[in-house]
Amino acid sequence: MTLTATDVRYILAGRGSAVYDRLTGEAGSPDLSGVLSVQIGRETERLNLDWLHRRVEGSSLFRLPTAGMVAGTIEEVAGGCVVSRGMYRAKADGFLVVPDLGTLVVEAKHVSEGRVAGQIQAEYLPQLFVTMHVCGARLGVLSVFYGLARHTAYFVAWDEAYWASIEREVRAFLAHLELGIRPDGEEEPVIGRLTLPAVHTNLKGLQKCLVTA
């Protein structure tokens, strides 16, 4: 049984019933071809990565990992990179290599202009952390377009306490699978209760955090 990074995001967002239905065969994978926000995100992913690369001076951007860059099993799918490790599987949008810092796994998102930064971090950092886990990466960046007017990069370092809280919720979901009890579909989102890792909007903040850790 394999959980994708998106599955984990859904579980923590109170949408575990949809993941349960897919894993038990009650429902197929959702058809996202008609979901406008998803398609916009796919179409702007390349621009998102290029924009991040442009903003981080001296960095190198890779869509696919080079030898030794990730720890998990790599599968190239439609020009992208899917990495598996243990029971998790995740699509890595890109890899940003920064001199004197190392490799950061990139999660690219395009959201509506009115979304609040704290909500975006709470919703998508679990997905980024699963991708960091399968890649064996200690650093990551959530690169976000807000509408058509703003780009913000949220830099994070691996946080064991945050990962443990994610895995605790995953185990609770897996208990539903083992017992054959479907989540009721009205679960309270967990993401609002988790203590987020330190989030930095520039590399200097991340570097300072790593030095003092």
What is the full per-residue pLDDT of the chain (213 aa) written as tens digits? 899 999 999 999 999 999 999 999 876 666 666 666 667 767 789 999 999 999 999 999 999 999 899 999 999 888 789 999 999 999 999 999 999 999 999 999 999 999 999 999 999 999 999 999 999 999 999 999 999 889 999 999 999 999 999 999 999 999 999 999 999 866 778 888 899 999 999 998 998 888 776
Retrieve residue 198's tokens.
């330190």
> What domain count does the chain have?
1
Specify whether the CB–CB gap between 3 and 89 falls below 8 A: yes
Residue-range definition of the domain harbouring residue 71: 3-212
Strand arrangement, sheet containing 102-111: 60-62, 94-98, 102-111, 139-146, 150-157
- Domain of residue 198, CATH code: 3.90.320.10
User: Computed from CA positions of residues 18, 23, 27, 32, in that sequence, does the dihedral angle turn out positive or negative?
Assistant: positive
pLDDT at 192: 83
